[in-house]
Amino acid sequence: MIRLLPREVESLWTLFTAPIVWALHFLICYVGAAIYCAKPGLLGLDFAAVRLGIGIVTALALALILLSTLLAWRQWGFGTYDPPHDDATAHSRRRFQGFATLLLSGLSFVAVIFVALPAVFLTECLR
């Protein structure tokens, strides 16, 4: 498999990557929409531009979460090691962390999609 990032990147921080990306995506989307709906003429943009911005931020967030998923899958051993990873060894801890990161990445991927769904269905601010 092609190495996207070196193995040294696989640390405890990879576990938090996908939820942090989701949280930042959530803040950007909802704060941006709230500011636009509170002051529509502030930046001279229409709601279609806000929806486009949410789409771009969503695509970027999903790409980062997919990268995190690939790293987690590599850390887990490409699915060759079945859970539970409950031995008191570094190998087992690394496999557990990879599996937990994989699950969090999946959850964050779905959460990002659900955060972006209102921008798909709403075409104007509700007052």
The answer as to whether 7 is a domain residue is no
pLDDT tens per residue across span 64-88: 999 988 888 887 766 666 666 555 6
Contact 71, 101 (CB under 8 A): yes
User: pTM of this prediction?
Assistant: 0.80
pLDDT tens per residue across span 27-44: 999 999 999 999 887 778
Q: How sure is the predictor about 10, in pLDDT bands with cuts at 50, 70 and 90?
A: low
Number of separate domains in the chain: 1
Find the domain containing 108 and state its range. 14-121
Q: Position 10: which residue type?
A: E
The answer as to whether 92 is a domain residue is yes
The answer as to whether 126 is a domain residue is no
CA distance 106 to 51: 24
The answer as to whether 103 is a domain residue is yes
Going by the DSSP 8-state scheme, the letter that residue 87 receives in this structure is S
The answer as to whether 9 is a domain residue is no
Q: How many residues does the chain have?
A: 127
CA terminus-to-terminus distance, the chain: 52
The answer as to whether 4 is a domain residue is no
* DSSP H stretches of helix in 7-126: 13-38, 47-76, 90-121
Mean of pLDDT values over 84-101: 70
* Mean model confidence pLDDT for the chain: 83
